């Protein structure tokens, strides 16, 4: 592969890594392999550290393609815990409230699921990378400052859920660029007359790209190091 001329690779991001961690790791290995001081590496769509799955990485001149690749719909699978909430809407922060779940029926879950289909306004979590007056929202939230988020227009194309216990549901969702699945989980709990927290998330698709074609960071590093 001609990395300087430009390539796009698919990485299966591991749990606990930021998207920037993946970019940095690949860039360092590419610089070592190619014997250059710098090479452009970027990603087409951020994944939270607690999420795993498909990360589209553009290298060299392919970084010019990032804006076009980001706009594709994203597919995710995951798990939602019912009856509890956290400030970050996922497990980055501690549980801060508990709600009843006895009234939640399978029928109610399906009705709420259906209500998410279509174009809608969504408020991102305060623990997100959204810019507010030049600062990341999560930096302000972690500092204990009041954070007021503006809504974004998103579209949920499909949403399928399955209840696997009284307190847990699994899901697969296809949604437009900019959709926060953590907010989907949080709002899902509200619509159930309870609370909910995203406890597992994996991106399986981004535009025309699939996780089936992705390799781990270590696999890509080995390819970079061994390529002639």
Asked if residue 28 is part of any domain, the answer here is yes
Return d(Cα 192, Cα 163) in angstroms, integer: 13
Torsion 80-11-153-125 (CA) sign? positive
Task: Identify whether residues 155 and 199 lie together within a single domain.
Answer: yes
- Range(s) of the domain holding residue 120: 74-206
Residue 228 has a pLDDT of 58
Q: Which residues of the chain have pLDDT under 70?
A: 228
Q: In what helix (H) or strand (E) does residue 41 lie, and over which residues does it extend?
A: strand 41-43
Asked if residue 98 is part of any domain, the answer here is yes
Q: How many structural domains are present in the chain?
A: 2
Residues taking part in catalysis: 48
Task: Identify whether residues 191 and 221 lie together within a single domain.
Answer: no
Residue 94 has a pLDDT of 94
Task: Identify whether residues 200 and 214 lie together within a single domain.
Answer: no
Using alpha carbons, select from 27, 5, 19 the residue that is nearest to residue 50. Answer: 19
């Amino acid at each position: 592969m001609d990395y300087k001329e430009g390539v796009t690779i698919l990485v299966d991001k591991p749990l606990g890594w930021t998207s920037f961690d993946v970019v940095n790791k690949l860039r360092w290995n590419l610089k070592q392999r190619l014997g250059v001081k710098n090479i452009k590496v970027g990603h087409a769509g951020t994944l939270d550290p607690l999420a795993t799955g498909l990360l589209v990485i553009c290298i060299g001149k392919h970084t010019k393609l990032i804006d076009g690749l980001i706009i594709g719909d994203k597919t995710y699978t995951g798990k939602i815990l019912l009856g509890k909430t956290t400030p970050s809407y996922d497990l980055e922060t501690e549980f801060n409230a508990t709600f009843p779940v006895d009234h939640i029926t399978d029928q109610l879950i399906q009705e709420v699921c259906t209500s998410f289909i279509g174009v809608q306004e969504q408020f991102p979590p305060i623990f997100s990378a959204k810019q507010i007056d030049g600062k990341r929202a999560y930096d302000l939230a972690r500092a204990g400052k009041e954070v007021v988020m503006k809504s974004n227009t998103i579209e949920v194309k499909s949403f399928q859920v399955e209840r696997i216990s009284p307190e847990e549901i699994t899901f697969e969702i296809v949604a437009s660029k900019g959709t926060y699945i953590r907010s989907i989980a949080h709002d899902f709990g509200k619509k159930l007359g309870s609370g909910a927290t995203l406890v597992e998330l994996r991106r399986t698709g981004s535009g025309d790209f699939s996780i089936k074609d992705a390799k781990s960071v270590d696999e890509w590093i080995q390819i970079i190091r061994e390529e002639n």
